[in-house]
Amino acid sequence: MPPIQNKNSGASTALVYVTIGALLSVWSGVWFLYENNLEQPSRGVYYICTGLLLTGIALLVIGFFVGSMSRKAHEVEIAKEAAKAGAIERNPAVASKF
């Protein structure tokens, strides 16, 4: 199996999800609070604002899960490389299997 070219791709993906989710949640919250201060906010505004707020929260959750999965996958790759190096040192014939 070829070595992984970009070992931080999961971390960068998680960072993008968390950043977009946080910004979307914050600005939707600001918009929601601003619309509450108006005299007659429409139902459509609440619909869109609530949808954007929940989308931002969902992106935050996805980002946290992607980050934790990326961390676990990286730990497995390190363990696999260490096991491979140990097997090759003990028995050079094993190197052909990897």
Residue 59 burial (C-beta neighbours within 10 Å; 0-12, 13-18, 19+): buried
Segments making up each domain of the chain, as ranges: 10-97
Give DSSP secondary structure letters for 55-67: HHHHHHHHHHHHH
- % helix / strand / coil in the chain, to the nearest 5? 85, 0, 15
Lowest mean pLDDT among 4-18, 27-41, 44-58, 84-98: 84-98
Indicate the pTM of the whole model. Answer: 0.65
Q: What is the mean pLDDT of the chain?
A: 78
Question: Residue 34 and residue 58: Cα distance in Å, rounded?
Answer: 22
Cα Rg of the chain (Å, integer)? 23
